[in-house]
Structure 1
């Protein structure tokens, strides 16, 4: 049973207020030709709007429960024909196609426990891209204020859905728990600084085309959120970063 299977039915209500990233990723998809690969596609929160906009999406996720939700979502909004959902790990995605764009929204790379896992995921994304193709993902690194305000508290994130954050700043690990009725799960997220992400991105064979601090494309100025736009670099090319 995959981690998110236990909360598949409450995932969308839990994340109902998170909408700021949808138009950003739809715009990224419309800027390329051909299908888009979404790693950790989950409930289709991003993939279905992309499909509605006319782009085919190949979505990969470990949770069959979440993929069932995504299929129902796509059926409801008339996007099923453009959504190809596959069970698999984002470090070894079951995708033979080579595409212009791979995305990994909603901080999903933070599920990778250490730098080796993160590097493996970055390299796997690179292998799905045609030369010059782009990998776009978002992550965060919490502020001291955010840690202090939420540490160890059960907060009602959405009506009837409760969330608890247990932070370990020494190991840079967040244990995030969610519960609603009989549905409950806990997961660990492992954050890095922007400098550390940039080093891994370079090591994986990408150039950084842009680093935003929010989905309105404002430049990153050292805040909590990082939206990375990376271009596949051919291995004989020198690194080029912004």
Structure 2
């Protein structure tokens, strides 16, 4: 997984582009409010969700493999005078000094675990660090035909303003799906425009993501010691359907 991190090599720019995504927070606060103890945010990145939960009074541990993202998370937490424990660890080999009543993994991070072996190792590691009757919540993209069979040509995605350079950025993607490995290979193109709307710079990053089908995920979770409580299509609790874009799982450690 270490060679699949181009997208995260500039943590400050990552924050600028992604900080608007906060849809998970109310859902996670609702579940966190039902539990007592330290909550673990896996693949926490720059603390996009870790920090808001800590601001709501919960005790958090943030775990990530990317040192640069963790440094950015630490800096942000220190500026807000928040006490959060940040750990640089591989999520498939967690070595924490506690068990948690609630572990979550958002941002579709589970798609970074490309092989059956790494998926099993991840879930086993999480299971080991959950308290009895503990809850694991995560999201992953829904493998619909529309999602997987995107054209392998440059396609517009979104526009944002990069405040580090005061330029508007148009973002495009190129997608190539490998059905045998269930991997979508993305190229993300960012075109930086000056005040006149002229493109003055362009960057490209690459990332590969594993897609897991609903029945496949059901078997994977059950075999690794989890009961599925809910499968939603969004962080508002809408039931999953054929038109879903995401799969949000709420699982309980089997007793």
Determine the structure 2 residue equivalent to 1:29. Answer: 32
SS state at 1:168 partner: strand
Determine the structure 2 residue equivalent to 1:60. Answer: 63
Report the CA distance between 1:149 and its aligned residue.
5.4
Output the CA distance in 2 between the equivalents of 1:86 and 1:138: 22
Alpha-carbon distance change, 166 to 101 in structure 1, aligned in 2, over 3 angstroms: same
SS state at 1:116 partner: helix
Cα pair 1:6 1:184 within 8 Å, conserved = no
Report the CA distance between 1:167 and its aligned residue.
2.9
Cα pair 1:7 1:185 within 8 Å, conserved = no
Cα pair 1:141 1:225 within 8 Å, conserved = yes
Write out aligned runs for 1:9-48 (5 A).
9-48=12-51
Which of residues 170, 175, 178 is equivalent to 2:185?
Answer: 175
Write out aligned runs for 1:119-130 (5 A).
119-130=120-131
- Of stretches 24-33 and 49-58 in structure 1, the one that deviates more from structure 2 is 24-33
Per-residue displacement from partner, 1:156-193 (whole Å, max 9, x unpaired)?
Answer: 53322634241315132122334556875322100011
Determine the structure 2 residue equivalent to 1:140. Answer: 141
Cα pair 1:52 1:78 within 8 Å, conserved = no
Larger Rg: 2
Write out aligned runs for 1:146-161 (5 A).
146-147=147-148, 151-153=152-154, 155=156, 157-159=158-160, 160=169
TM-score, normalisation: structure 2: 0.82
| Structure 2: 5+ residue stretches without partners | 161-168, 191-200
Alpha-carbon distance change, 116 to 162 in structure 1, aligned in 2, over 3 angstroms: same
Report the CA distance between 1:78 and its aligned residue.
3.4
Report the CA distance between 1:144 and its aligned residue.
2.7
Report the CA distance between 1:201 and its aligned residue.
0.2
Cα pair 1:57 1:84 within 8 Å, conserved = yes
Alpha-carbon distance change, 26 to 151 in structure 1, aligned in 2, over 3 angstroms: farther
Determine the structure 2 residue equivalent to 1:107. Answer: 108
Output the CA distance in 1 between the equivalents of 2:76 and 2:203: 20
Determine the structure 1 residue equivalent to 2:220. Answer: 200
SS state at 2:22 partner: coil
Which of residues 171, 174, 178 is equivalent to 1:162?
Answer: 171
Output the CA distance in 2 between the equivalents of 1:183 and 1:31: 44
Please tell me the root mean square deviation across aligned C-alpha atoms, in Å.
2.2
Output the CA distance in 1 between the equivalents of 2:170 and 2:10: 11
Output the CA distance in 2 between the equivalents of 1:59 and 1:152: 37
Number of matched residues? 232
Which of residues 70, 73, 81 is equivalent to 2:76?
Answer: 73
Output the CA distance in 1 between the equivalents of 2:229 and 2:183: 28
Report the CA distance between 1:7 and its aligned residue.
2.6
SS state at 1:91 partner: helix
| Structure 1: 5+ residue stretches without partners | 235-242
